[in-house]
Structure 1
């Protein structure tokens, strides 16, 4: 039986050491976009599961396809054939997501520990504990970071140590989403703020102070000359 306390501690200790090795930004922007965020928040309100957890699970299970079940990525309008089997069909993505989080193992809606270690451990349980039982970092969590090199279950019960998971891991997605959206926080998770411009760097152009040589600068100069403003 997997020691979940140890798994939480292991993932919490990997978090500050993790460095991204792939470009997570396009996927993170999709997940944190206002339209997507509002749908995740609607499910969060019904289940108590933080919306970023729902978002990254959606990405891993179905590449954010809204016509699939959150539980395993099977079509929304069919009875699922992958684990969890026998779920659905559902009228809406939100209904399928509710079912996956409330009625299916590992019952994320019952989780009370949403620290970064607890969050990552719950995500790992969502995918399966085969990697933890082997003492290996799960690609479901760590793919695309320096905490993962290779090894993947290529199908149920079949582990290939040489296969490299090409999907984005949940940890890297969360890290990048946290850079985009400062409202995303987890106890024990710190993200470095976006770098400040170097000393002496030109300020970012605005309507009032457009970039030199731009059409905006032309109209500002014209306005000043007509109205005698300096």
Structure 2
């Protein structure tokens, strides 16, 4: 059993000390795609429905399907067909946005229920999204730390098969977030805005998909996931 409180502390400490080890331009190229206005608008649309920060949605999208708008946020399967990979049996959906909402509301680790949007809480949620197999081995998760000095090797090459010598070639969420923050000043960490209980899946297995808000975000009524919805709390790197 993984102690999530201890994992949050560990991830918070790793974030404070992490340094990029891959070419910074590689992270910048990906971050530029993720914060691009059209992409950000789609992430904010999902964030406004469920309260998960848009930048968290963005890095999940990149890790799960290299930001493919044809791929599900849950596991990368096409969202217009019933999924075959875990979580299997989801969909088909009417849109990428509806599929993203389903993944974050109805699929483990039920990200829409999270209320800790500190950097430690965010990174631990992202680690849970991929699975706690690395934490149970006492190893940093490449899903979070690949491309930084916090990760060297070790990867689940397929379900249940761990190779200690394999190296994850994808970029980790932490490095992507660092690169995104350099490009978009609205990305900040802190407590989530107060919201009602997150919807959960029905016993029938049908997706519970909140409808889009009829009120457009504004300065006086910011969308969840936007700068106006969060309490700013910067985490400085250790000297």
Using the size of structure 1 for normalisation, the TM-score is 0.82
- 2:161 is matched with which residue? 158
Q: Secondary structure at the match of 2:162?
A: strand
User: Residues 116 and 189 of structure 1 are in contact (CA less than 8 Å); yes or no, is this contact kept in structure 2?
Assistant: no
Question: What is the rounded CA distance, in whole Å, between the counterparts of 1:68 and 1:88 in structure 2?
Answer: 12
Q: Which residue of 1 aligns with 2:19?
A: 19
Aligned residue for 1:24, secondary structure, equals helix
Are 1:91 and 2:136 an aligned pair? Answer: no
Q: How high is the TM-score relative to the length of structure 2?
A: 0.79
Supply the distance in 2 between the matched residues of 1:48 and 1:151 (Cα, whole angstroms): 33
Give the alignment's Cα RMSD to 1 decimal.
1.1
The alignment status of 1:29 with 2:74, answered yes or no, reads no
CA distance in 2, matches of 1:177, 1:132: 25
2:140 to 137, 142, 157: 137
CA distance in 2, matches of 1:47, 1:155: 31
Deviation at 1:144, TM superposition (A): 0.4
Match of 1:184 in 2: 187
* 2:229 aligned residue: none
Tell me the residue number matched to 1:148.
151
- CA separation in 2, counterparts of 1:107 and 1:190? 25
5+ long unaligned stretches in structure 1: 193-230
Alpha-carbon separation, structure 1, partners of 2:184 and 2:32: 10
**1:43-122 matched pairs, under 5 angstroms:** 43-122=46-125
Give yes or no for contact 1:175–1:191 (8 Å, CA) kept in 2: no
Q: 2: distance between equivalents of 1:5 and 1:166?
A: 28
How many pairs are equivalent?
192
Distance 2:145 2:235 in 1: 17
TM-fit CA distance, 1:26: 0.3
Between 1 and 2, higher relative CO (CA 8 Å, sep ≥ 6) is seen in 2
Alpha-carbon offset, residue 53 of structure 1: 0.3
Structure 2 unmatched ranges of 5 or more? 191-232
Larger radius of gyration: 1
Using the TM superposition, give the Cα deviation of residue 81 of structure 1 relative to its aligned residue in structure 2, in angstroms: 1.1
